[in-house]
Structure formats: C-alpha cells, structure tokens
Amino acid sequence: MKTKEHKIPEATIKRLSTYVNYLGRLGTDSNPVISSEILGESCQVSPAQIRKDLSYFGEFGVRGVGYDTKKLEAEIKDILGINHNWPTTIVGVGKLGQALLNFDFFRNHGFRIITAFDSDPNKIGTEAANGVTIQSISDIEKCVREEKISIGIITTPVAAAQEVADKLVSGGINGILNFAPIKVRVPETITLRNVSITSELDNLAYLLTQKKR
Amino acid sequence: MKTKEHKIPEATIKRLSTYVNYLGRLGTDSNPVISSEILGESCQVSPAQIRKDLSYFGEFGVRGVGYDTKKLEAEIKDILGINHNWPTTIVGVGKLGQALLNFDFFRNHGFRIITAFDSDPNKIGTEAANGVTIQSISDIEKCVREEKISIGIITTPVAAAQEVADKLVSGGINGILNFAPIKVRVPETITLRNVSITSELDNLAYLLTQKKR
DNA sequence: GCGACAATGTGATAACTGTCACAGCCTAAC
DNA sequence: GTTAGGCTGTGACAGTTATCACATTGTCGC
Ligand SMILES: NC(=O)c1ccc[n+]([C@@H]2O[C@H](COP(=O)([O-])OP(=O)(O)OC[C@H]3O[C@@H](n4cnc5c(N)ncnc54)[C@H](O)[C@@H]3O)[C@@H](O)[C@H]2O)c1
Ligand SMILES: NC(=O)c1ccc[n+]([C@@H]2O[C@H](COP(=O)([O-])OP(=O)(O)OC[C@H]3O[C@@H](n4cnc5c(N)ncnc54)[C@H](O)[C@@H]3O)[C@@H](O)[C@H]2O)c1
C-alpha cells in the first residue's frame, strides 16, 4: 500500500468506512466492478470525492472501467487496518455495553471483543455474550497486559470513565473508544476517540430549530 | 437570541453540545462564573475557539470577567433548541434501542421519548422502559401524526431502516436520527443525521495502524 | 474618578477540505 | 492496429474552518 506523506482529512477516513461498509454488503457476483459514480450514489458522496479520497492512498481503479469490487474492499480494509482482528475489551457491561457486546458486526469487521469488565459483583463471573465472561475491574490492568489487548471501549457511567481510562493506559492499551460524555485525558501516546451520541441529537435539535425560525 | 446570517460550521454545533454538557455538570454554586480558558481546558478546546463559536450567535460574556455559568448554559441550550422537550420516538426496540430508551440523560436534556415501535409480536404490548409501551410498527404513521412526534430514532436492522424511515416521513416526522449503518434516503424537507458507531471504531483502527507504520 | 488589569469579541490570516475540469489510461470494437 | 468511448487520477481553484493578535470593554482597588 502506498501511503503518501500528506495528512489525511478525518472526513476521508469516515467516508472510507462508509465505502467499505457498502462494498461488503454488495453481492460481488452481480457487481464484480463498480464505478465511483455508482458507489457515490449509494454512499451519498460525489464521485470526485471518492476518487480524491482513494487517491490519498494510491491507485486502485482501472481507467475507463472502474474498481474491482472485491479488491477495492480489501484495499480499503487494509488502509483502515480492519483486515485483521484487533483484540478489544469492553469496560462497563450496562445497557450500552451489552448492546455493543452483542453487536455481531464488529466480529466480521476487524474487531474481536475478547474480554469484558465491570465493577458490579452481581455481574462478575456471568456470561455477557458470545462466550465472554465478565471479569472484575480490579483485574483489568493485568489482563490487558497479558492478553495484549489493543483497544478498550469505555461504557461506564461518567464518574468512572477517567479512572477506567487510567487503568487501561497503565495496562498498556493502544487505543480507547469512549462513550461516556466527558473528554477523558490520556497520554499523547494513546489514541483516543470520544463518541458522543448526545451531540448527534443536539445537532438534530439545532437543525430542526433553525428550520422553524 | 441574535442569530447571524452566516452559515455555522457543523463542528461549532458539536462543540456547543460539549460546552453545555460540561456546564450542566458543573456546580453552579462553586463556579458562578467561568472563563473561556477554564471551559476550554475541560472541553479540550482552545479558548479562542470557544469565543469564536459563541460569537456566531451573539455576545454572552462580560469582558474582563468571563461567562455567567448558569446563563451561558441556558443560552447554549437556547441556541441548540434543547431548552424544551422534543417529542421523540424509537423504532426497533432491540439491544441498542433498549439502551437508548433507558438512557436517562435524554430526558434531562431536551428530548422526551414518548413512544416505541417494533415489529416483533412478542415485544408489542410489553413495557420497554419508563412507562413506554412498545407499539406495533403498523400503527406508527398514525401515531406520529396524532402525537405530533418531531424526532424519530431508527434502531432497526439495516434491512428495515429505509422502510421505517419512509413510514416516519409519511407520518409527518421532522427529523430522523439513524443508527443503522446505511444512508437512508429522505426528502429534502426532513432533517437527517446518520450515527455511525462503526466508523468511529474504523477511525480508531486507522489511527492505530498509522502509529505502527 | 482613574488607572491597572483581565478576559471577551472579532477582523485578518493561515490551514484545511472539497469541487471541478480535464489529461491520462484502459478497453473494446472493427 | 487504430480509433472511439469511458472512467480514473490529480492539479488548480474555491470554499470553509481554525488560529492569532489585539482592540474593546467591563471590574476593582485606591
Ligand atoms: N445508554 C445509552 O443509550 C447511552 C448513549 C450514549 C452514551 N451513553 C453513555 O455510556 C455509558 C454507559 O451507559 P449505560 O446506559 O450502559 O449505563 P449503565 O448504567 O446501564 O451501565 C454502566 C455499567 O458500568 C458499570 N460500572 C460502573 N462503574 C464501573 C467501574 N468503575 N468499572 C467498571 N464498570 C463500572 C456498572 O456496573 C454498569 O454495569 C454512560 O457513560 C452513558 O452516559 C449511554
Ligand atoms: N448493537 C450495537 O451496539 C449497534 C451499534 C451500532 C449500530 N447498530 C445498529 O443499530 C441497529 C439495531 O441494532 P441492535 O443491536 O439493537 O439490533 P437488534 O436485533 O437487537 O434489534 C433490532 C430490533 O428491531 C426490530 N425490528 C426489525 N424489523 C423491524 C421493523 N421493520 N420495524 C420495527 N422494528 C423492527 C427487531 O424486532 C428488534 O427488536 C442495527 O441496524 C445495527 O446495525 C447497533
């Protein structure tokens, strides 16, 4: 894979995710080749944008023809780094944590949730999903280190989020996906993304309010 | 509220959501006034960015002093339109839908989930949460119209998402928040936001991959 | 009342991101 | 082999968003 030096827009990465998602759902038999125009229609992105996004990483198409569907899917997975299984853990097996644990999509998509942690004694030792047993939060540092877990997903209440993040970090985690609505603080070396479902709703409310005025 | 004509960056709206969220969690007694510097530290945004964001909508601070915490919170809620309760419905009461239904935060935050719909006969008629009874999907159009529901949250499987969106639209919905990983199609007049949890994880994987290379 | 101070509000500027048009390249048909 | 047609890849341009510096304006102590 040719990775050019330029910094890649975050929006490009988000769109690549959309593309690969759509390509994966496409019957490769009936659509062995796809053009940026057709792909763009499904993903609601302009054809030029798609070509530009891909051009950051190399040349994957054939001029006059289009892209080999299966090959393009593989290439994007390679770019995103979801062509292997990231060892992942979920911390806080509440409503949201349960939903994520049971979300099959992840498994077919480059992530392998291999452990789950909670502080509730009633939950510890029970099976959360797919053969994953909930472990005590006090074992998390050791476990992250020993199982070489790369990604930690935080779905604890706000009050516990920072503390959990600290434990993940000291266990040697590489990246954190945080669903608690605060910006947790981690060292520079850790990759962190905060997911704010609330802000999506707020944004919707804003747009609706604008429309009314 | 003074709303200037300029188009507001989407990123600004997202940050406003962060600000208001943080302000709401702040003890107003101990912090009657807050500066852009302090707020910025908590929200991990530069002070200048905060002032710029707010300046799109008016002047809310006092020079030499800062912002009245409580007042600023109210002003931002007003800007975002989360100072009243949007009648909201959830379609698809599975794992994720359940999590959202039980998420107290929404209720204290401008949204009132008043109905829930599913197609599963075993679920219809049971209580999902907080006194919300699951209704049959076949009643959705009538109900949206009669209850004047503004916002529809889609948490059905991919296969049903477009169909559900169509029903919401024909019932007269104003806005849709879609959690299914496809871009549903709606008329121009409907405000739509797609939430992609998957793409957040993909983004994390990408960043981690970059770090390794 | 006045001066020192502190933090906002904003125009100018820099950085980033998306759009467009077309050159370049491949395929296929004859 | 040659030509017509079609779709990619990309440089130039336009539009958008963030950063910066500082003028502005309010507070407080004396
Ligand atoms: N439910 C939603 O729809 C939703 C949406 C957006 C964001 N969130 C956020 O996600 C987080 C979880 O939400 P939820 O609805 O699943 O909450 P929940 O209360 O159902 O689950 C929280 C879980 O975390 C566990 N926990 C608490 N402290 C812990 C600790 N120190 N270590 C390990 N585990 C701990 C609890 O035992 C519980 O099982 C919250 O921060 C919430 O704000 C939730
Ligand atoms: N679970 C997660 O963590 C997660 C994360 C990101 C996105 N998503 C997306 O959210 C959606 C829901 O995920 P989930 O895990 O809750 O799935 P789920 O299977 O647990 O729930 C889906 C629910 O939708 C109902 N349903 C199906 N067809 C319907 C229809 N036509 N009308 C009304 N209801 C219908 C089902 O009866 C079920 O109750 C999926 O599209 C999924 O891709 C889920």
Given an 8 Å threshold on Cβ–Cβ distance, is A98 in contact with B102? no
Summarize the confidence of residues B110-139 as an average pLDDT. Answer: 95
Summarize the confidence of residues B17-24 as an average pLDDT. Answer: 96
In this structure, which amino acid lies at residue A80? L
Q: What is the pLDDT of residue B11?
A: 97
- Rounded to an integer, what distance in angstroms lies between the CA atom of residue A75 and that of residue A60? 8
- Please give the structure tokens belonging to residue A86: 């990231």
> Cβ distance B145 to B115 under 8 Å?
no
- Rounded to an integer, what distance in angstroms lies between the CA atom of residue B56 and that of residue B77? 15
Q: What is the dihedral of CA B205, B207, B208, B213, to 10 degrees?
A: 120
Kindly state the percentage of chain B with pLDDT values over 90.
Answer: 86
At B186, is the pLDDT very low, low, confident or very high (cuts 50, 70, 90)? very high
- Rounded to an integer, what distance in angstroms lies between the CA atom of residue A200 and that of residue A202? 5
Q: What is the pLDDT of residue A6?
A: 66
- Please give the structure tokens belonging to residue B32: 């009657």
A33: left (phi over 0), alpha (psi -120 to 50) or beta: beta
Q: Is B175 on the interface with A (CB under 8 A)?
A: yes
Find and give the residue nearest to C24, measured CA to C1': A63
pTM listed for this prediction:
0.95
Q: What are phi and psi of A61, to 5 degrees?
A: -105, 180
Distance from the Cα of B139 to chain A's closest Cα (Å) equals 24
Scanning every strand, the nucleotide with its C1' closest to B61's CA turns out to be C8
At B31, is the pLDDT very low, low, confident or very high (cuts 50, 70, 90)? confident
How do the pLDDT tens digits run along chain A, 213 residues long? Answer: 444 456 899 999 999 999 999 999 987 667 899 999 999 999 999 999 999 999 999 999 999 999 999 999 999 999 999 998 999 999 999 999 999 999 988 888 899 999 999 999 999 999 998 889 999 999 999 999 999 999 999 999 999 999 999 999 999 999 999 999 999 999 999 999 999 999 999 999 999 999 877
Least CB–CB distance from A208: residue in B103, B158, B175? B175
Segment 34-63 of chain A within 8 Å of chain B by CB: 42-44
What is the full DSSP assignment across chain B? ----SSPPPHHHHHHHHHHHHHHHHS-TTT-SEE-HHHHHHHHT--HHHHHHHHHTT---SBTTTBEEHHHHHHHHHHHHT-SS-EEEEEE--SHHHHHHHT-HHHHTTTEEEEEEEES-TTTTTSEEETTEEEEEGGGHHHHHHHTT--EEEE-S-HHHHHHHHHHHHHHT-SEEEE-SSS-----TTSEEEE--HHHHHHHHHHHHHHHH-
Scanning every strand, the nucleotide with its C1' closest to A59's CA turns out to be D9
Summarize the confidence of residues B13-38 as an average pLDDT. Answer: 91
- Rounded to an integer, what distance in angstroms lies between the CA atom of residue B89 and that of residue B74? 25
Given an 8 Å threshold on Cβ–Cβ distance, is B158 in contact with A25? yes
At B6, is the pLDDT very low, low, confident or very high (cuts 50, 70, 90)? low
Q: Which domains are present in chain B?
A: 10-80 (1.10.10.10), 86-199 (3.40.50.720)
At B5, is the pLDDT very low, low, confident or very high (cuts 50, 70, 90)? low
User: From the candidates A39, A44, A50, A198, which should be mutated to test the interface with B, based on the most B CB atoms within 10 A?
Assistant: A198
3-state secondary structure chain A: CCCCCCCCCHHHHHHHHHHHHHHHHCCCCCCCEECHHHHHHHHCCCHHHHHHHHHCCCCCEECCCEEEHHHHHHHHHHHHCCCCCEEEEEECCCHHHHHHHCCHHHHHHCEEEEEEEECCCCCCCCEEECCEEEEEHHHHHHHHHHCCCCEEEECCCHHHHHHHHHHHHHHCCCEEEECCCCCCCCCCCCEEEECCHHHHHHHHHHHHHHHHC
Please report the atom of ligand 2 found closest to the CA of residue B159: 28
| Average pLDDT across chain B, whole number | 93
Q: What is the pLDDT of residue A91?
A: 98
For residue B123, the CA-to-ligand 2 centroid distance in Å is 13
Least CB–CB distance from B204: residue in A3, A18, A193? A193
Least CB–CB distance from B208: residue in A16, A150, A207? A150
Q: What is the pLDDT of residue B1?
A: 43
- Rounded to an integer, what distance in angstroms lies between the CA atom of residue B28 and that of residue B34? 10
Q: What is the pLDDT of residue A131?
A: 87
Q: What is the pLDDT of residue B2?
A: 42
Question: Closest ligand to B91 CA?
Answer: 2
